[in-house]
Structure 1
Amino acid sequence: MSNPHFSTKERILSAAEDLFARSGFAGASLRQVTASANVNLAAVNYHFGSKENLINELFKRRLDELTAERTKSLNKALATKPVSLESILEAFVAPALHLASDRGGGQSFVRLLARAFAEQDQRLRRFVSDNYGHVLKEFAKAIHQFVPELQKEDLYWRLDFVSGALTYAMSDFGMIKKPPTLTEEQHRANAAKQFVRFAAAGLRAP
């Protein structure tokens, strides 16, 4: 038997994700979300309480999954000898690119993520930092052993640049599009390989 509460909540989240990605957080109203999800406003209030909570939940459902995959990949990389800077970076990059290629909503979320950066939503950035910042710290700790000469501030500057470039790559805004001869998986693997080379060179720079 289907769960009507679950299906209603998911419809609201999917509609909101698509609308916010296209129109921005301020540009799309809750009434537009409810119309797109074919629910009434009371359903949004029941499941989320406010527009802010709805936006937080949008990020939470995707970032919880991404965080789990990154943590799993990092632990695997650290357990596989010899450990390298490239293997740690791949654990950070590959799950993100996999999410970006997910046509079941992942692509809309990536556009939403890019919009959050572009709009400089400080409240949302704080929410992401408070709930998922520990993952970046774990990667920073693992990466630092390969670039021990970097001061902590320099390391975090470079990781910030890597994260920003990855968001750009996830959004598929760049010049490199998937060649017709490659599958999505092959194109994603090539993108990850190229990105890891780029990020490793930047982290190792004097």
Structure 2
Amino acid sequence: MAVAVQQFSTKERILGAAEELFALHGFSGTSLRQVTARADVNIAAVNYHFGSKDNLVNEVFRRRMDAMSRQRLERLQAATADGRCELEPILAAFVEPALDLAQDRQGHAFIRVIARAYAEQNDGLRKFLSDQYGHVQRDFARALAACLPDLGKETLYWRLDFLGGALTYAMADFGLIKRPAGVDEATHRRQAARELIRFAAAGFKA
């Protein structure tokens, strides 16, 4: 049992160190030597748990996105139960789990990692994300299409892409609207979610 706990701890330390360094320096700008130094492990530990740097990058995403994807799909199922077709609850199922992750103190570095994924040309990572999480996007596209029968498929996917970009921006909190003094982070994020959902609904219906 002690060995299993130690292995888990080592793997988590490597993932945490890699996430922080990828956020700071990007994927190509971070070496495995930097990761091992930050995690206080040797290179053999990285090879044992991940096999390669590309696999390490993938696992950094999997650690956060598996849970977020489950939450999204559970909420989508609830939003469309009994044949219901309401746009804003479907959009809330997509938006709110992501903003919840952004509010999590441990998720802050991952938000910057997502931004790196948008900025860097990493075909292997893009294929991994498409293979692992593309079904989530397709499920939401089908649910939105049912609510918007007159909207063409190509237009629908353009707008879903735009929503993803706006959501990433909101997660990073780069915008003009900053959290007012006296307003806690959870309240500020709920307000951001409400405004983004309303904005997205209007965009999809346009």
Paired letter, 1:13: L
CA RMSD of aligned residues (A): 1.3
Paired letter, 1:151: G
Alignment TM-score, normalising by the size of structure 2: 0.95
The superposition leaves residues 88-137 of structure 1 with CA deviations (integer Å, 9 ceiling, x where unpaired) of 00010000000011102x11111000111011322211110111000111
Q: Which residue is 1:123 aligned to?
A: 124
Paired letter, 1:109: F
Give the share of equivalent positions with the same residue, in percent: 59
Following TM superposition, where does structure 1 have runs of at least 4 consecutive aligned residues deviating by more than 6 angstroms?
none
1:148 partner SS: coil
Cα deviation, residue 75, structure 1: 1.2
In 2, distance between residues paired with 1:6 and 1:108?
21
Alignment TM-score, normalising by the size of structure 1: 0.95
Q: Which residue is 1:9 aligned to?
A: 11
2:80 partner SS: helix
Q: Which residue is 1:58 aligned to?
A: 60
Q: Which residue is 2:43 aligned to?
A: 41
Structure 1 residues 80 and 103: CA distance shift in structure 2, 3 A: farther
Contact preservation (8 Å) 2:85, 2:146: no
Paired letter, 1:99: L
Q: Which residue is 1:78 aligned to?
A: 80
Q: How does 1:80-99 map to 2 (within 5 A)?
A: 83-99=85-101
Q: Which residue is 2:204 aligned to?
A: 203
- 1:162 aligns to 2:163 (yes or no): yes
1:10 partner SS: helix
Q: Structure 1 or 2: larger helix share? A: 2
Unaligned 5+ runs, structure 2: none
